[in-house]
């Protein structure tokens, strides 16, 4: 049976209906779930999906001893006619996420103790403890707040300042989970020791009610308290002899034995406001939580005294955190990147320039105004971007200087532009609907749609773009797409087979987005330009195809190809969303930290691929103008390519 799935095309902007197999959603879930990574985690307790569990039980001859109940635990009944004949005396679970409680662990445990297990049961895991460390970090703080943007003009320096409600806003309510081990120690200053904030004993009654836990401490250094780094560990047994820790390397008991994980990472929490701290003074770090979320506050006295009100869960009320995700905040706050756009704008702007800016919530329109454009229009198609940009313009006294057009750019009319022709079409390009690097080619489709509104000799910036690729060896990321074989004595070949079938599904053969600054890798080839796109011309009607091969110049295991876009603002100015500099002798990669790159995993993801293996990678990449899709196929070759 076939089903039709509707989706908004992130590249063309149109709504499409695609015919898919009836198992489409199922295969999607498996292929994108990183179950393989979870199976590689040797000191983790895991519960396979019900279907796989049934097959494993059958294969190992335990059907008379193990009963699979395909229900949520809160729906399980106990009694003669229930799912379980009596209450259990051992509770084995895996309900945790990076934040520990974000998958509903507390209410699930609470229900289990009340309805499913005996009063003096034993739980595996037995106990969890959440830890926190207060730091100052301009880099991480830039993921949550908008910094002043400096623009050097012929009339002096102009400063674009954030609205006051954005400065006061506590930020997005969701946790920022990252591979904290990949954040350089130079990017933060430690202000406190590692503090155990609270523990949960899973063998006793658990409460999902809101609570707070305070820890008094003396700052190790003076500075600005901005960020709380947090993680947890679990003790599998009552004596705490078997422990599984999420601690980053500097807080881990045995850094040499650090287990790589992608399903559980570390948490970054932002304080509502940065606060000055003085070394040696007494402060209280407070962890607050409800049934699903954790957040932190810094207080001068112990919470609860003098009728103090506990801070509510942070919720964005400034619109910015609804429009910009954390990498986007970092990108906008990157002054070097802004200066690159400023230098490029100086070369194309004229005193009589009429500019149209097409990006979601971009500051390009303010840059164009400050650099002398006669008139500036900006298209903001979402309600969130309209409200945010109006506030930014008002704060900077530009509400009468920059015109916001509240519609999709494809629907622009001459009246929207006050009868004027556009002499400069601008884009970063950045659009909130983009997932893969080439989805921002939506700018090209907009350029095509507004062709009639461009005046003679109109300039488009960026002028062109190019798709690049490099073959890499990942230190760890290959694990999320690799069957695990034998896993510490468990017969998980059925699970392997299930994952492999999902990985063979069409969707998983496409590239997928990953923030590679968090996932170290080595370049085995030189970067290679695959396709080019000329924004000075409309989107062509015909398919664009590239075939070729990439020569491997360094020994290593070819786990996949990484693809990214480069935007050529002018002939002399290029912005890369991928590699920021050429690989060194060892091939270590430096990736743009504000963007996700596309990873195409090769079929052979086994870490035992010979180091002196394939010498070339052949590729076919096609751009389909009608759909905006880029399809690709990469294959490993066993012999060196002769260049033909």
The angle subtended at Cα 244 by Cα 240 and Cα 250, nearest 5°, is: 110
Contact assessment for residue 196 and residue 214, using Cβ atoms and an 8 Å cutoff: no
CA distance 193 to 212: 19
Q: Which two tokens stand for residue 292?
A: 């699903």
Helices (H) and strands (E) in the chain, counts: 13, 31
Cα distances (Å, whole numbers) of residue 202 to 75, 230, 461, 567:
20, 20, 58, 52
Q: Which two tokens stand for residue 119?
A: 């009063």
DSSP three-state, residue 386? helix
CA distance 407 to 385: 11
Q: Exposure pattern of 583-617 as b/e (b: 16+ CB <10 Å)?
A: beeebebebbbbbbbbbbbbebbeeebeeeebbbb
Please, how many CA atoms are within 13 Å of residue 467, restricted to the half-sphere of its CB? 24
CA distance 33 to 499: 10
Q: Which residues does residue 637 pair with via DSSP β-bridges, in sequence order?
A: 616
Cα distances (Å, whole numbers) of residue 308 to 174, 274, 302, 304, 642:
25, 20, 9, 5, 75
Q: What is the DSSP letter of 572?
A: T
Count other Cβ atoms within 10 Å, centred on residue 75.
9
CA distance 17 to 453: 31
Contact assessment for residue 477 and residue 519, using Cβ atoms and an 8 Å cutoff: yes
Residues 6+ positions from 555 with CB-CB distance below 8 Å: 524, 611, 612
Q: Which two tokens stand for residue 285?
A: 């770090």
Tell me which residues are annotated as active site.
94, 103
Q: Residue by residue, what is the 3-state secondary structure of 457-506? A: EEEEECCEEEEEEEEEEECCHHHHHCCCCCECCECCHHHHHHHHHHHCCH
DSSP three-state, residue 15? strand
609, 622, 618, 619: which is closest to 642 by C-alpha?
Answer: 618
């Amino acid at each position: 049976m076939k089903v039709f799935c509707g989706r908004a095309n992130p590249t063309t902007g149109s709504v499409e209906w695609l015919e898919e197999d009836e198992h489409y959603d199922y295969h999607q879930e498996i292929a994108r779930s990183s179950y393989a990574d979870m199976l590689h985690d040797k000191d983790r307790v895991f519960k396979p999906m019900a279907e796989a569990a049934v097959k494993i039980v059958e294969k190992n001859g335990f059907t008379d001893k193990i009963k699979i109940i395909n229900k949520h635990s809160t729906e399980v009944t106990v009694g003669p006619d229930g799912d379980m004949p009596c209450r259990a005396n051992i509770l084995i679970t895996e309900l945790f996420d990076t934040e520990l409680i974000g998958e509903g662990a507390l209410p699930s445990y609470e229900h289990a103790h009340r309805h499913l297990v005996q009063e003096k049961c034993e739980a595996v895991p037995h106990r969890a403890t959440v830890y926190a460390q207060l730091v100052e970090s301009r880099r991480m703080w830039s993921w949550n707040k908008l910094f002043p943007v400096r623009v050097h003009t012929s009339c002096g320096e102009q400063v674009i300042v954030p609205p006051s409600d954005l400065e006061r806003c506590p930020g997005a309510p969701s946790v920022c989970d990252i591979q904290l081990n990949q954040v350089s120690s130079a990017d933060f200053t430690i202000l406190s020791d590692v503090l155990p904030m609270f523990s949960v004993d899973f063998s006793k009654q658990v409460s999902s009610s809101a609570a707070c836990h305070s820890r008094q401490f003396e700052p190790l250094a003076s500075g600005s308290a901005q960020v709380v780094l947090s993680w947890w560990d679990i003790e599998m047994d009552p004596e705490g002899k078997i422990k599984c820790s999420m601690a980053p390397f500097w807080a881990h008991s045995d850094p040499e034995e650090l287990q790589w994980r992608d399903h559980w990472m570390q948490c970054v929490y932002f304080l509502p406001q940065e606060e000055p701290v003085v070394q040696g003074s007494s402060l209280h770090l407070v962890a607050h939580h409800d049934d699903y979320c954790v957040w932190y506050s810094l207080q001068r006295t112990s919470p609860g005294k003098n009728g103090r009100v506990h801070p509510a869960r942070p919720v964005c009320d400034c619109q910015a955190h609804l429009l910009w995700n954390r990498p986007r905040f970092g990108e906008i706050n990157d002054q070097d990147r802004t200066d690159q756009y400023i230098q490029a704008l100086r070369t194309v702007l004229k005193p009589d320039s009429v500019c149209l800016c097409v990006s979601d919530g971009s500051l390009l329109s303010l840059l164009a105004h400050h650099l002398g454009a006669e008139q500036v229009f900006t298209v903001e198609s979402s309600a969130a971007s309209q409200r945010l940009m109006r506030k930014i313009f008002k704060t900077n006294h530009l509400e009468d200087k920059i015109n916001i057009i509240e519609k999709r750019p494809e629907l622009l009319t001459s009246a929207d532009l006050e009868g004027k022709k556009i002499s400069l079409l601008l884009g970063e390009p950045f659009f909130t609907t983009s997932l893969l690097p080439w989805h921002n080619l939506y700018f090209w489709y907009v350029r095509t749609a507004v062709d009639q509104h461009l005046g003679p000799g109109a300039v488009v910036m960026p002028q062109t773009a190019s798709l690049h690729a490099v073959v890499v060896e990942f230190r760890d990321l290959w694990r999320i797409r690799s069957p695990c074989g034998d896993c510490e004595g468990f017969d998980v070949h059925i699970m392997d087979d299930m994952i492999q079938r999902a990985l063979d599904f069409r969707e998983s053969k496409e590239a997928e987005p990953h923030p590679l600054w968090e996932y170290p890798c080595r370049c085995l080839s030189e970067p290679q330009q695959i396709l080019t796109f000329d924004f000075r011309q409309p989107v062509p009607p015909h398919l664009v195809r590239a075939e070729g091969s990439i020569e491997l110049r360094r020994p290593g295991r070819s786990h996949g190809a990484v693809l990214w876009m480069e935007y050529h603002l002018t002939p002399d100015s290029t912005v890369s969303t991928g590699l920021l500099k050429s690989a060194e002798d060892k091939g270590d990669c430096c990736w743009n930290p504000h963007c996700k790159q596309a990873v195409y995993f090769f079929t052979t993801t086994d870490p035992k691929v010979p180091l002196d293996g394939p010498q070339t990678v052949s590729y076919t990449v096609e751009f389909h103008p009608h759909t905006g899709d880029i399809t690709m196929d990469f294959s490993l070759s066993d012999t060196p390519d002769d260049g033909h």
